[in-house]
Amino acid sequence: MQAYVLIGECYEKGRGVHVNQRTALEYYRKAAETKSTYQMNGQYALAELLFRTGQAGDAFDWYKRASSHQHYESSFLKPIRRAKLMVARYYLHGWAHVNPDKARAFEMLNELADHDGDSAHYWLASCYLEGIPGVCEVDTAVAFKYYMKAAKAGHLDSQFEVAYMLAHGNGTIRNREEALLWYKKAANKGHPVAIYTLGLHFLHNVRNLNKAMTYFERAADLGHTESMERLAEIYLMDIARPISSLDRAAKRAQEQRCKQALAWIKRAAERGHRVAQRELGKLHDRALGVPEDHRKAFELFSCAAQQNDTVAILLLGSYYEHGQGVPQDVHRALEHYLRAASLGSERASFAAGQLYHKLHRFQEAYVQYKIAAKDKRLRGSVTGKTARLMVARYVLLAMVSNPEESKEEAFEMLHDLVLKDEFSPSFYWHGYCCHHGLGTAVQLEKAIHWYNRAAEEAKDTQAMVQLANLYEQESSSSEEDDIRIIQCLKRAAELGDAEGQYKLGMAHWRGLQRMEIDKIKAAEWFKQSASQGYGMSHWALGQMFLENGDRDLALLSWDNGVRLENAASMRSQAQLLLTMLPETAEQDRRMQYTRAMKLLTDAAHQGDAESHLYLGRIYVADAAALKQRAHAIDGDLDEHTSNDIMELLEQQKQQEERAKNHLELAAKEGQVEAMFLAGQIWHEQSNYLQANKYYQQAADAGYMLARVMRARYRLAEGLPGIVADPEAGFKELMACAQEQCSSAYHSLGQCYELGLGVQQDYEKALEWYSRSVETTADAEAVFRIGRIHARDHKELDACRWYELACHMDNTHARAHYHLGLYYLHGVHDTIQRNFESAVYHLQQAIRQNDYDAMFELGILYLSDDMQFTVEQQLDGFAYLEHAAQLGSCDAQRELGKLYHTGKDYCPSSSIDDTGIVTIVPQQLGRAFDLFCQAAEQGDRSAALFVGTFYEHGIHVSADPSSAAQWYDIAIRLDLQQPWWVAELALARVLHQDPSQRSRAYQLFQAAFEHAETDEQRSTAEIMMARYRLHGWGDVSIQDKVAMMVLLRYARAGEARVFYEVAWSFERGLGVDQDLKQAFIWYSQLEQLASTLTQEEEELLDDDLQQDITNALVRLVEFYRCGWTTRVDLAKATTLENQIARRTARVRDL
């Protein structure tokens, strides 16, 4: 068996035969599987070879078998202990999926250490050096003790560890001299790291480069990659040293060193050394000793990055950011920067911040700059200072939301950078803050000081331009200031500042700062600035071309500006395209219009106030056109046309909202016209508070029409949130009129007509209205003149003025409406009725959505007094529907009545139901809704109808409480003119509740007092008599007086009192008991019932129907008992049957 082991060793190590590990394994396996004295040797040899060939799982089983043998001969103990050591290491590290059992491993290592095992001492030291939770605590002193034992026994790795711990004072007293001795012992035995460490010692401590390189080369030859990288670094340092091309020997030596550097760095890189991979990538990036190859550099950086080399990861981020070696991908770049930051790179957060800034993702940039600014490793570096500067800028310029610092704290950061660090890039921003009052008070002298320092010391061209701006803003700009402005701009321009070149060009073009106009020089500066991608210069060149009459070159120049996302170029190109629309081929107009609108929208998105204003004007015009189109087709009210109108009006609303959004944004940027136009839209939408806000802004800026509107708002009473001040309004209008503002004339006429802010004076009103007509052809003023004549009952004059208003403006709805009324009803002998003219004018008013005209014409067409065609009646119904939708409470009320009853059209020629057309279907739900709408607008008749619906359970569940509430509303809607109908209705409902009868009686009294005729007063008087008869509601009983009233009504044929009179005679209430009179009055109700058809009876009041039934019940008793008549059982039975039929019918109903 020992022979098998020896033969296996020959094949494994190539002794006398070629190396053949497979054959070696076969021989070892034979020895391991055969029982013999040397079986353990075979098992250990097999395990070792399996382990070395990467078959650690199989090796573990054979290590365990070898370690289980019991031998006491020294020749066998050594392999057994080595096997046990390997088993312990498996348990310690969990190799090959062996379940880690560190406690067991630690126990085995201790057992092996007791037998002076140097390797066991080494691994036991490692346990104490790193600690094993629950097994052994970290104890570097004990670790050093075990390392020393193993080192003294000649264990190579332990000798290195002893040297390392002595050098760093870890677990023992620091002793570099002794550490050096141990490093040398390990190095002499070929420990590559020890050799490398000695190289570092001679490089940094002894400063003997040749000696250091000797050690590095020895370690490198042993495969130590860091030594290879260090050698390459040393050779490359020498390559960077400039050598004269005439010194050929030195040049050849340098080339040789370059080859050596490349050879070593390539070897290290090939062996996976991350620093070498990264540095070799840099060489390819910069073409140092190797061809420039960004793709190769990218691959090498990627290999290093896989080993978490933060510098390589940063370089990969830069490659992705700038598209070197790979397609540009800023998202991947950010991923790499953030990954490097997470791995501890001090510069990665700054790099991420810079890229976020470039992408205008300022909130994220701020976070990264903050990290870099706080990093102590960057303190004092340009990177750290720049990060602090960027944080300060972000806060001061409000580029981020919810920053941790206040503006004052940010300014202090900037102040420290300027004064303590003297960081010249911060000079400009310090001046900028003093200039604009950011984080500090406005201090123009300091601003000029720091701008000057930035210009002089940092050659900051922005500072030069800002200095020019400051001098330009001086209220009393002198010739000296103009010279300084031009000097600053010229200096910035000559240093290549694009903005400075643009501004200098503007000075030459427009003759600013007393410059002589020189368009050639202007164009030269614009071209230089434009070549740097400065958009405003492209705009200026385009404007120059346009002013020279070359629209094509203007568009071409602005195209360049558009590509640079310059808002002014977008706006100017859009305006020119829109101007050229009439000249454009019809098939291309839509595309050209769309292009122009996109340009304006893009410019507006950049915050260009003029584009917002221009878009606002366009959308206002679009909304007006849509409204006009809707009115133009509003005459035909069929379902299809109605849908078209609704769609147009919805589009109008959308355009108004778009206009409003743009105008409000323009207003925020100080565009005065936009303020006024935004106010106009809010005014049209009846949001007077918002409208007034914009009118105020524009008026304060001197916009005349806004001043007029502000004055009109001061004249008005009841505008929500606006305090009326008619006197101030009148004064402002008069001031505007004195400045020849014709728009004020009309409002002054109204002031005098209505007595707003001035004493009423119709003559002066006519004077101002006349001035408005003369200067502006103001149709509304013409109409107002007509109204004044109508007020003076000069209807013919009024009619003529209304006619003139319509002639001047055929869309003047109110003039048409009043003319329509004149012609519809006529005026004495002055104006003859003219049905055709009335309809014409009312229809013209309807086209302008005048719901009063819709109501009048609708009621006319649906009236029963005149015979209209079915088409006219359907039009009338449509007019009422439209007026109701527009909020006419008259239309809502009358339409509710029509839906309540329904309305049919029956031609006069029809003799049966054929040919009947339903004009308005009976729809109780619709009627109820319309009555509610009108009642909510204060129409008391509609409120009465709502109460009626609740009282009688029409469409809604009967609810006396709700009915009473609505009747009460109807009463309170006009307390100045009491309405007996509502009082009576409420009294009747309250009468049903005995606890409310006191108030019910008061209401009956009120209704009696407020009614105008005896017929209107009858119900109230009857109820008051009943109250006095019975003493209801704590009313004092006056039965005789009450009976006199009731008898008066009964003798007049008022059936509603027959039962009360009969009952009173039967019981002797207010009269002497008289059964004969009772019988007579009960019989009156029986007689009444016998004469009614079923339809007529169903129309009777509920109370009267109940009185009839009760009277029949009493008559049954009279006939059965023979009271004041003979006993007549047959009659009684007949009456009982009649009572049963009535009761059943009522139940069915």
Average pLDDT over residues 637-654: 78
Asked if residues 789 and 798 have their Cβ atoms less than 8 Å apart, the reply is yes
Q: How far is CA 1062 from CA 764, 1066, 1108, 1128, in A?
A: 72, 6, 12, 20
In percent, how much of the chain has pLDDT > 90?
A: 68
CA 520 to chain centroid? 49
Q: How confident is the model at residue 832 (pLDDT cuts 50, 70, 90)?
A: confident
Q: Which of 223, 156, 159, 169 is nearest to 196 (CA)?
A: 223
Report the SS3 class of residue 132.
Answer: strand
Structure-token pair, residue 338: 């953030």
pLDDT tens track for 1055-1076: 999 999 999 999 999 999 999 9
- Report the pLDDT averaged over residues 406-411: 94
Which of 318, 313, 287 is closest to 300 using CA atoms? Answer: 313
Side chain identity, residue 850? D
Average pLDDT over residues 674-684: 95
Task: Report yes or no: 348 and 340 within 8 Å, Cβ to Cβ.
Answer: yes
- Pair of tokens at residue 490: 């010229």
- Predicted local distance difference test score (pLDDT) of residue 1147: 62
What is the DSSP code string of 1069-1086? Answer: SSS---HHHHHHHHHHHH
Determine the Cα–Cα distance for residues 453 and 682; give it in Å rounded to an integer. 51
Alpha-carbon distance of 1115 to 1123, in angstroms, equals: 9
Strand partners, 904: 918
Does 72 have pLDDT greater than 70? Answer: no
pLDDT category at 747 given cuts 50, 70, 90 is very high
Of 255, 275, 253, the residue nearest 265 (C-alpha): 275
910, pLDDT greater than 70:
no
Chain segment 859-886, per-residue pLDDT in tens: 999 987 777 888 999 999 999 999 999 9
Residue ranges in 405-478 assigned as alpha helix (H): 407-419, 425-436, 444-457, 461-473
Pairing of strands 903-905, 917-920: antiparallel
The tokens describing 1052, both together, are 């007049």
Residue 911: predicted pLDDT? 46
pLDDT averaged over the chain? 90
Question: Sign of dihedral through CA atoms 47, 50, 56, 57?
Answer: negative
Helix orientation angle between 980-991 and 1014-1030, rounded to the nearest 10 degrees: 30
**Which tokens is 1014 given?**
């005896």
The answer to whether 332 and 324 have CB atoms below 8 angstroms apart is: no
* More confident of the two residues 70 and 592: 592
How far is 412 from 886, CA to CA, in rounded Å? 62
> 905 has which bridge partners?
917
The predicted model gives 489-499 an average pLDDT of 94
Predicted confidence band of residue 638 (pLDDT cuts 50, 70, 90): low
CA distances from 806 to 634, 783, 822, 824 (A): 18, 9, 14, 17
Q: Which residues contact 464 (CB under 8 A, 6 or more apart)?
A: 451, 455, 488, 489, 491, 492, 495, 497, 500
Strands (E), 274-366: none
- pLDDT score for 636: 53
**Kindly report the CA angle at 175 between 170 and 181, in degrees rounded to 5?**
110
> What's the pLDDT score for residue 906?
73
Task: Say if residues 1004 and 974 touch (Cβ distance below 8 Å).
Answer: no
Query: 76 pLDDT band (50/70/90 cuts)?
Result: low
Domain boundaries, the chain: 1-100, 607-685, 703-776, 1058-1149
Residue 654 pLDDT exceeds 90: yes
Dist CA 189 CA 707 (whole Å): 100
Listed residue (722, 751, 719, 755) closest to 737, CA to CA: 751
Torsion of CA 963, 965, 970, 971, to 10 degrees: 120
The pLDDT score that the predictor gives to residue 1012 is 92
Answer whether 621's CB lies under 8 Å from 614's CB: no
pLDDT at 1022: 94
Which tokens in the block code for residue 793? 């009952």
Start-end of H helices in 139-224: 140-152, 156-168, 176-188, 192-200, 209-221
**Residue 147 identity (one-letter amino acid):** Y
pLDDT value at position 1149? 53
- Residue with tokens 């510098």, as numbered in its chain: 311
Provide DSSP, 545-584.
HHHTT-HHHHHHHHHHHHHTT-HHHHHHHHHHHHHTGGGS
Task: For the chain, give the percent of residues with pLDDT over 70.
Answer: 96
Token pair listed for 371: 């990290």
* 426 alpha-carbon distance from chain centroid: 36
Q: Could you tell me if 277 and 300 are in contact, meaning their C-beta atoms sit under 8 angstroms apart?
A: yes
- φ and ψ of 313, to 5 deg: -65, -40
Residue 1140: count of CB within 10 angstroms of its CB: 10
- Write out the CATH class of domain 1-100: mainly alpha
Question: What is the per-residue pLDDT for 477?
Answer: 65
C-alpha 776, offset from chain centre: 44
pLDDT tens string 958-984: 999 999 999 999 999 888 888 999 999
Residue with tokens 């009504």: 1049
Beta strands in 603-750 (DSSP E): none
- Cα separation, 308 vs 320, in Å, equals 17
According to the 3-state scheme, what is the secondary structure of 214-248? HHHHHHHHCCCHHHHHHHHHHHHHHHCCCCCCCCH
Q: Which tokens in the block code for residue 131? A: 């600690």
The H or E element spanning position 903 is strand 903-905
Backbone angles phi, psi at 997, to 5 degrees: -70, -25
Residue that has been written with the tokens 């119900």 in this structure: 1019
72: Cα within 13 Å, side-chain hemisphere: 0
Residue 827's DSSP bridge partners are 831
- pTM exceeding 0.95: no
Q: Which residues contact 11 (CB under 8 A, 6 or more apart)?
A: 17, 19, 20, 21, 23, 24, 27
Collapsed DSSP state (helix, strand, coil) of residue 437: coil
